Amino acid sequence: MSSSTLSRREFLWVGAALGGGLLVQVACRGGAKAESPPSDAKTAPPNIFIRIAPDDTVHVTIPKSEMGQGVRTALALFVAEELDADWSKVRPEAAAFDPQLGSQGTGGSGSVLDTHSRLRVAGATMRQMLVVAAAQQLGVPASELTTKDSCVYHTASNRSLGYGALADAAAKVPVPTNVRLRKPTEWRLLGRDGIKALDVPDIVHGRAKYGIDTRRDGMLFASVERATIFGATVKSFDPSDALKVPGVKEVVEVKGDRELGVHAGVAVIATNTWAAMQGRKALKVTWDPGPHAQEGSASYTAFMRDAVSKPGKELVNRIGDPDEVLAKATDVIRADYELPFIAHATMEPQNCTAQFSNGMMELWSPTQFPDWAHDAVADHLKLDKSKVKVNVTPLMGGAFGRRINPDFSVEAAMIAKAVNGAPVQVVWTRADDLRHDFYRQCAIHRLEATLGPDGNPVAMRHRFSSPAIDASTGKRGKFGAGESDGIGNHVYRVPNRSSEYTLLDSGVPRGWWRAVNTTHGTFALESFIDELADKAGKDPYEYRMALIDRWVVDQPQDSKDFPFNPARYKATLKLAAEKAGWGKPLPAGHALGIAQNVPDHLTYAAEVVEASVTNGKVNVHRVVVAVDCGRVFNPDGARSQLEGGVVQALSAALGEEITIEGGAVVQGGFETYRLLRIGGAPARIEIHWATNDDVPVTGLGEPAVPPFFPALANAVARATGKRPRSLPIRV
């Protein structure tokens, strides 16, 4: 890569930082405030990407949320590499919401994909300007200068200047119109193992600041008694006993908002969390149960089982005539796969701090989508958007898609507006969190197929039912294409195939759980492919390799920017099998299971799980993950994301399940919502890269999750002779 410039939708602004130093901002055009850079450095907005201070410290403002995935380290690395900065002096800072920064949503495994190029350009621009400033001060040509670890060197005269000493002068240098980006052979940080993660020391020593650690002068605390039945509303409440609790200041009603997922409730506001919680216990609330009080998991399952027994209400896709072929077939393989609701169960329950003062609403929120939180607060409270500021907390204790939704931010803003003056922190309990989530939807998939003389499928029909995510807020329309991601768009060669969908109406809020719909679709498809291989008497790995063909459906759609590539698919599957020692002898009672996914979030992934079952307990001994995500910039961080995906998938595969009774969630703590304990973690997780440097980089936060479920189920089936067709797995 010889040179690079920003796109037409972006601009780069360089100037002197307030208090001294060099400041660079790269922003996306689009909002009214983003049409031109600030004219005066001292009035520059605070949400910059890079600032070099006089003491050589490099402050990198990260426009994505850090929820444990290591994005602060990953994005800072792009700047540090091109800037040639001393990594020990790089400091990440969370960016508040700012339209000039472009999309600040963190999800879809897209943080690196969205931002790495502009961060690299910004870092390279700063470096070039620092070199020009050094050349002016040293009186030598810039071509004679080199850089390393935040210093500019003139080897011939044995002189050097630190970046901090050059920063003010560099701010006055004309901004280059294009810059040269380093080639991979020149990298000192990118692509290297052993890069120290920036947040780890603070996390280990207890200095890290999460949303719940937010503190403001004069802060109050609130605990909300929310409706447990989905869609219920407050009929009446008596605050008298709550107001008698020492420290309780005020009790206010919270109006529900179905579209935003805000639950109706009553907030108790106090000088400390204990008083707020004790006041909440003393409340007397009468509820109107609403329209969903009779719903439950049993009725959902009955509906979905009936739905998959007949043609779907919505046709997702059809190739050939699978109905006719199956009707004439003498041997039809049929299997139903069932999955429950599951919760995000973040270690840090939801929380948000908000202050409404002098007509201005300011939030300190551990949110994945500050732009959505900002707009939702402004719209719900009917405030001008210029009167709402959303600060993203430095860290958040897990998210997995839960903190995309703005409900907890809007709720805190509503309470703060009622208080009008003091900042208020709304703290959720574990039970609040588990019972007021946006759940990964339940689903039932029925797959039917018949095989030809060669053992390959000649027809396959897929019927499934789920409460669609997009229907959660009452939207109407077609939902099958989105819900069938991971199965309706599979790439196994079947000349006659179809996918049909029936919506389950449910009052349970649904949302984006790590890897979203592919978590249930891939489980069904990849389990069924193993069953077909078994029926055909073929090895499941070889069976898959022979059937990988091309994208043949229009719904769900293939990516226009990242079209499906059979060669990458096969290479990833082959790598996983080879590294796992597929076909080689195993210890007694052990078995291997294999699975892959559609390019989940544009990344190809395949997994092999080695498992055994003893006394009804599933033991996972080894997990081999092969991934093609393009070039890997931060190997340690990339491996951590994939390992985390495997562990979370294992937790969901063996224990996690949300059940509904009387329109409400039964589980209220980790004694009933079974998360994986440390003793159940795999003994070994191996990550292997099907490196492909000729394709754009894609994400790693989610692709390891979907194939794990069927790979484990397939291993258990081979180890025991009994096929698991539902999650969590019980043997």
* Residue 40 CB partners (closer than 8 Å, separation 6+): none
Asked whether 628 and 699 are in contact (CB, 8 A), the reply is no
Strand partners, 364: 353, 391
- Of 579, 551, 598, the closest CA to residue 686 belongs to 579
Dihedral of the alpha carbons of 19, 22, 28, 29, in degrees to the nearest 10: 70
Distance separating alpha carbons of residues 89 and 54, to the nearest angstrom: 12
- The continuous run of DSSP H or E covering 141 comes out as none
pLDDT for res 11:
55
In angstroms, rounded to a whole number, what is the distance separating the alpha carbons of residues 519 and 706? 5
Residues 451, 528: Cα–Cα separation, whole Å: 13
Of 489, 438, 417, 386, the closest CA to residue 107 belongs to 438
Domains, the chain: 10-204 (3.30.365.10), 211-291+350-427 (3.30.365.10), 297-342+439-720 (3.30.365.10)
Query: What is the rounded CA–CA span in Å between residue 309 and residue 13?
Result: 60
Residues 6+ apart with CB under 8 A from 588: none
Strand order in the sheet with 591-596: 591-596, 604-614, 617-628, 684-689
pLDDT tens-digit readout, 154-200: 999 999 999 999 999 999 999 888 899 999 999 999 999 999 999 99
Residue 316's alpha-carbon distances to 166, 293, 313, 447, in angstroms, are 60, 32, 10, 14
Closest alpha carbon to 507 in 314, 338, 299: 299
Q: What is the DSSP letter of 470?
A: G
- pTM of the entire structure? 0.94
- Quick check: 170 and 21 in contact, CB under 8 A? no
User: By C-alpha distance, which of 102, 105, 95, 94 is closest to 31?
Assistant: 102
CB 228 within 8 A of CB 664: yes
**β-pair partners for 361:** 356, 388
**Distance (Å, whole) CA 547 – CA 497:** 14
Q: What token pair was written down for 585? A: 């002898």
Q: What is the mean pLDDT of each run of 10 residues along the chain (731 residues)?
A: 54 68 67 35 52 93 94 97 98 90 88 90 94 98 98 97 95 90 96 94 95 98 98 98 98 96 98 98 98 98 98 98 98 98 98 98 98 98 97 97 98 98 98 98 98 98 98 89 97 98 98 97 98 98 97 92 91 98 97 95 96 97 97 96 98 98 98 96 96 85 98 98 97 91
Residue 312 three-state SS? coil
- The owner of tokens 């204990």 is 274
Looking only at the bridges linking them, the beta strands covering 443-451 and 457-466 are antiparallel
